[in-house]
Amino acid sequence: MGHVVVIGAGQAGSSLVARLRNRGFEGDVTLIGAEAVPPYQRPPLSKKYLLGEMDLERLYLRPESFYAEHDIDLRLGAEVTGIDRAAREVHLGAERVAYDVLVLTTGSAPRRLPAAIGGDLAGVHVVRDLADADAMEPRFVSGAHVLIVGGGYIGLEAAAVAASKGLSVTLVEMSERILQRVGAPETSDYFRALHAAHGVDIREGVGLETLLGEGHVSGARLSDGTEIDVDFVIVGVGIAPGTGLAEAAGLEIDNGIRCDAHGRTSDAHIWAAGDCASFPYRASQLRLESVPNAIDMAECVADNIMGAETEYVPQVWFWSDQYDVKLQIAGLNTGYDRIVTRPEPAEGAVSFWYYLGGTLLAVDAMNAPRAYMVGKRLIEGGTSPDPALVADTGVELKSLLQT
């Protein structure tokens, strides 16, 4: 059956090796991870883990014993230094690991602030892995002042944790509004009001000019000329796909590691899945940064390694937890030209439905799980209800599934 080597022990890598074994793959399987801990969930790092509501072992995707029990060689704390495609070997320093099939599930890495503006000062943090969360957790002391750079979901989730723990929070977003890249103005308005109600100082259309301090950050000068004192900084300005190994090996890169519809890269012996991989979708190469995509694409690739020849079709959904609000998103809103608002009876519950002409593209549901589930089923089924029916709260949501 050959030897399958997987580089990247995150959600995609763990899902892929488990799928291989669950589907009866009898060859050798090696999963290589750079961190010293078994594969774990990342989303709780900026939520429940920072709040102290989830301990380390609950983060694990599977018990550590799972890998040995399923004859998976789990290599932790291992740095891959290169890929030799001609010899079909992975380099771990001086060690060589031969493969018949290689899968890259190398994820993504947070973008950091340049050293020229103080990005390398102590007290400047990103939120991506366990070490990041552990490094900043002691700083979450009531009364401390944190500056958050970036008004996307990571920045807003970190702001919610900080405000909930009694910190003074300033968030700066250089775009004209928070969530501008991913959400409608209505969604931005909702979360701006939510954070304001919890005392977060959100400054939109304002960028960071430079961080101040000798050795450790102590302040920040913003693009509008104001200066503020800070105890620490959290940077949430997006992520970059983990393509370094693939690029060095000469694989084709296009919005991530370019894959075909089956998850195969430009090398027939190498596959990719998760945050690092792009795949054909509506005449372009789409790359999704989400847990559902990491799991679904990895499982599809595992099936295809075993000969299924199944094309990957993403079921697009995301979520974010902030304070007592659960945001659930179904679909991709790219190209929308109309927002339909559907209020819910519960206080603070609402959904926004994205349309392009008469076609439903996506739904943002805040504490509105029924709207999310109905919207998700409609989008996945290619059905677009009349926007007037969506907006009419006298119309039962479930009835939209029959339209």
Q: Which residue has the tokens 């847990």?
A: 291
Q: Which residue has the tokens 């931005």?
A: 188
Same fold across 3-109+240-305 and 324-402: no
**Predicted local distance difference test score (pLDDT) of residue 1:** 67
Q: Where are the domains of the chain?
A: 3-109+240-305, 112-235, 324-402
Strand partners, 157: none
Count other Cβ atoms within 10 Å, centred on residue 271. 29
Beta-strand ranges (E) seen in 236-275 are 239-241, 257-258, 270-272
Assigned CATH class of 3-109+240-305: alpha beta
Assigned CATH class of 112-235: alpha beta
Run of H or E including 329? strand 325-331
Is this model's pTM higher than 0.85 or not? yes
The CATH number, out of the four listed (3.30.43.10, 3.30.390.30, 3.30.930.10, 3.40.50.720), of the domain defined by the range 324-402? 3.30.390.30
Round to whole Å and give the CA distance between 279 and 31.
Answer: 23
Taking only the tens of pLDDT, the chain with its 403 residues reads 699 999 999 999 999 999 999 999 999 999 999 999 999 999 888 888 888 888 888 999 999 999 999 999 999 999 999 999 999 999 999 999 999 999 999 999 999 999 999 999 999 999 989 999 999 999 999 999 999 999 999 999 999 999 999 999 999 999 999 999 999 999 999 999 999 999 999 999 999 999 999 999 999 999 999 999 999 999 999 999 999 999 999 999 999 999 999 999 999 999 999 999 999 998 899 999 999 999 999 999 999 999 999 999 998 899 999 999 999 999 999 999 999 999 999 999 999 999 999 999 999 999 999 999 999 999 999 999 999 999 999 999 999 998 6
- Integer CA distances (angstroms), 249 to 43, 81, 146, in order: 30, 11, 40
**Three-class DSSP category at 271:** strand
Round to whole Å and give the CA distance between 141 and 162.
Answer: 9
What are the two backbone dihedrals, phi and then psi, of residue 109, each rounded to the nearest 5 degrees? -135, 145
**Predicted local distance difference test score (pLDDT) of residue 137:** 92
Round to whole Å and give the CA distance between 33 and 105.
Answer: 10
- Integer CA distances (angstroms), 402 to 209, 237, 365, 384, 396, in order: 53, 41, 21, 11, 11
